Structure 1
Amino acid sequence: MSSFSKIPMFSKEDFDDWKICMQAHLSALDDDIWFVITDGPLTITKINTAVALSGGSPQYIEKPRTEWTAEDKKKANLDNVAKNILYKTLDKNTFSKIKICKIGKEIWEKLIQLSEGNEHTKENKLSVATQKFDNIRMKPGESTAEFDE
């Protein structure tokens, strides 16, 4: 895995932009890293040969670690890679708030909660923004360019 670009540093003020850049960065490293962030660590499985096939679909069971291939080990380690990358983007204050998270998905969700708030907070922010938008008026003598700023 090679890095295509510098890791975007976490910013609460520019969280929406950071989130987009981070998703692109993680996905560029490995498609499955983003899957790990959204769905949790990958489970390494194999076909269960002890059970008869039903309806033509094989049944899968977790593969014992002793049977893992090099590719299996790489896939199983993607959560550690994701956590490491996320940790590197954080300042000490933010890190102290997420360090109890065990998996990359929990870190990502906690960062979203810290930056965007819960649903009630989001609704309040949207309401305030809508109210500000509704109250926008050009001042007498103000040019369009000045108003645009």
Structure 2
Amino acid sequence: MVEKPRAEWSTEDKNKAYRDNVDKDILFKTLDKNMFSKIKTCSTTKEILEKLTQLYEGNDQTKENKLTVAIQKFDNAKMKPGETMAEFDERFSNIICELISLGKIYINREISLKVMRALPIEWMSRL
């Protein structure tokens, strides 16, 4: 694709360029120095978003590995000694959010059963 000279830009072209510059500015301001250095050569917002997606999500193999690790975290989740229910709930909710972001959805029944199995044996007498 050959880019038009600026003198030939229509009003729509100018608006698109303006929006792209605003979007790039927002992205640049939200990234830390380390991440900014990885995307600073990108010339459009689309390129930046594609690069960030690739950096954060990785390729299909990376995504599969992340999903495997997240499923293992779910399967191995247990309430730690001295951990409060609120602390466990926050930790477990983070695992569920990670799984959802990777495309793995559990039904509420599976989650409830997992939580009950994750409780310490002392809690069984309370149920």
Pair 1:82-2:57 in alignment: no
Sequence identity percentage:
67
Aligned position for 2:50: 109
* Structure 1 residues 135 and 105, CA gap change in structure 2 (3 angstroms): same
- Unpaired segments ≥5 residues, structure 1: 1-42, 44-61
Task: Please tell me the residue identity of whatever aligns with 1:68.
Answer: S
> Which structure 2 residues correspond to residues 1-149 of structure 1 after superposition, within 5 A?
65-66=7-8, 68-69=10-11, 72-137=13-78, 147-148=88-89
* Structure 1 residues 103 and 136, CA gap change in structure 2 (3 angstroms): same
Deviation at 1:117, TM superposition (A): 1.9
Deviation at 1:109, TM superposition (A): 1.3
* Structure 1 residues 143 and 79, CA gap change in structure 2 (3 angstroms): closer
Rounded Cα–Cα distance in structure 2 between residues aligned with 1:118 and 1:141:
39
Per-residue CA deviations over 1:66-123 (Å, capped at 9, x if unaligned) read: 4723x55223322122112111112221111111111111101111222222221111
Rounded Cα–Cα distance in structure 2 between residues aligned with 1:68 and 1:124:
47
Structure of higher RCO (CA pairs closer than 8 Å, 6+ residues apart) = 1
Rounded Cα–Cα distance in structure 2 between residues aligned with 1:67 and 1:132:
53
* Structure 1 residues 109 and 66, CA gap change in structure 2 (3 angstroms): closer
Rounded Cα–Cα distance in structure 1 between residues aligned with 2:58 and 2:73:
20
Deviation at 1:144, TM superposition (A): 5.5
Residue-pair matches, total: 87
- TM-score w.r.t. the length of structure 2 is 0.52
> 74-83 or 91-100, which moves further after superposition?
74-83
- TM-score w.r.t. the length of structure 1 is 0.45
The SS at the match of 2:70 is: helix
Deviation at 1:145, TM superposition (A): 5.6
- Unpaired segments ≥5 residues, structure 2: 91-127
Deviation at 1:128, TM superposition (A): 0.9
Rounded Cα–Cα distance in structure 2 between residues aligned with 1:140 and 1:80:
52
